[in-house]
Amino acid sequence: MKQSYDKWLLLIVLLLILIGLTAVYSSTSVISPDIVEKYRRKGVELSQFGFIKKQLFTVLLGIIAMFIAYKSPLEFLKKMSIPLLVASLVCLILVFTRLGITAGGARRWIRVWPSTFQPSELVKLCMVLFLARYMSMPGYKVDRFLSFAVPVGVMGVFQVVFLKQPDFGAVMSLALLTMSMLFLSGIRVRYLFSLGILGLPVIIKLLSEPYRWKRVVAFLDPWKDAQGSGFQLIQSFIALGSGGLTGVGLGEGKQKLSFLPEVHTDFIFSLIGEELGFIGVVCVALIFFMLFLKGILIARKAMDQFHYYLAFGISMMIAIQAIINFSVVTGMVPTKGLPLPFISYGGSSLIVNMTAVGLLLNVSGAQGRMVKSACGLHINRSEPAGKEPLPAAHGSARTAQCSKWTRGYGYSRYKRRSSGNNKPFGYRG
């Protein structure tokens, strides 16, 4: 019986990617014949497959990244978490160098031939790794302010850079992610409340930049400026609203015809709503929720704190991003550039999130290995010293499972794993 990794998790993710590919194709394949003709006169042959080809290639890269993340030794990653975080910070700062690309008044991308990369996606994953590592350190004490201040300080560094870009979507998701992970670790709640003070500069920044403030206000009453700041949101509403219960049919959506800006990236959820209706979007939301549940189940079965925090953190990272995206397209929070994981068009988000899922699979696979070691078969792997085992009472179940395992299988399995490559986690994600 193959119990090395959580197959359901993989299936859920693949399902989301498939939904994403379908939606990306639907949103980018229809081009007005007038525009095609216009470009043809300029000598550019527009293809309906232009975007989907690129996205398929990204999925391929994502699968490779996921596999590498799955195969990487978690201990090594744990050690590397701080260098990785620093590396992500460097990437983020590269945005301000000549490599950076400015679009829509924000510097969020760096040029990676032949494409672009958004470091903020990588930052989130590295932050989860770092927090998991930090919170599983022996010196981490939930009632010590320093234990709270250090991660918050690290986050603050990133937030400053994000605000400079500016990328308020990243600010919001990173803050939520860090806070929820600190909350998870059991940190004093009053520390978290004190963080509210740090929110002040954000509000000041918002007020100082009228265009940003307008966007904030826009979500409260998009109809006030239907042709300006409220336009995108109204178009998103129209897309979702015209979908109704069952949608207008796959590929039949009309809002993607330049009505809804960024329909294939940040607002792809609206397109799914228009074409597949309420049933479709609820399904997508539920699949994300299942992914989250699957993630925290893996976390609960984790064999040490690092694994636990890592798995929980990744699950939350994806869930938070999904919820923020849903909230943006439904006008519950101000509009911000945040892609829907696995579904939106765009390489950075997809590759990073698939890497994250790879890590999640790695954690779930480590459970299998731990079970083996718990059965006393091949205790070879050095358990991190000083880690209290998780307060999980699965021991009996595991022993029961263990008896079913054939020795030969377990052995060969182990051989393969131990001789497996120790590829460093260096992929750009």
Residue ranges in contact with another protein by CB under 8 A: 30, 32-35, 180, 183-186, 237-245, 254-255, 257-259, 273, 277-278, 281-282, 285-286, 288-289, 292-293, 296, 299-300, 312, 316, 319-320, 323, 326-327, 330-332, 391
Q: Which residue, 101 or 248, is less far from another protein as judged by CB? A: 248
CB of 108 to another protein, least distance (A): 25
CA quadruple 188, 190, 194, 195: dihedral positive or negative?
Answer: positive
CB of 425 to another protein, least distance (A): 26
Q: Which of 168, 175, 172 is nearest to 108 (CA)?
A: 168
Q: Which helix (H) or strand (E) holds 297?
A: helix 268-300
CB of 59 to another protein, least distance (A): 25
Give every CB contact of residue 159 below 8 A, 6+ residues apart in sequence.
Answer: 171, 174, 175
Q: Which residue, 16 or 323, is less far from another protein as judged by CB? A: 323
Q: Which residue, 68 or 299, is less far from another protein as judged by CB? A: 299
Residue 106 pairs in a beta bridge with 103
CB of 107 to another protein, least distance (A): 27
CB of 78 to another protein, least distance (A): 20
Cβ(231)–Cβ(215) under 8 Å?
Answer: no
Q: Which of 258, 262, 282 is nearest to 272 (CA)?
A: 282
Q: Which residue, 111 or 300, is less far from another protein as judged by CB? A: 300
Q: Which residue, 296 or 377, is less far from another protein as judged by CB? A: 296
Q: Which residue, 307 or 413, is less far from another protein as judged by CB? A: 307
Q: Which residue, 32 or 102, is less far from another protein as judged by CB? A: 32
Q: Which residue, 70 or 191, is less far from another protein as judged by CB? A: 191
CB of 228 to another protein, least distance (A): 15
Q: Which of 307, 333, 308, 304 is nearest to 320 (CA)?
A: 333
Looking from the CA of 171 toward its CB, the CA atoms found within 13 Å total 21
CB of 23 to another protein, least distance (A): 16
Q: Is 151 exposed, middle or buried (0-12, 13-18, 19+ CB in 10 A)?
A: buried
CB of 236 to another protein, least distance (A): 9
Structure tokens at 166: 């500016």
Residue 116 pairs in a beta bridge with 111
Per DSSP, helices labelled H in 136-221 are 145-164, 168-184, 189-194, 199-208, 210-220
Structure tokens at 133: 């590592």
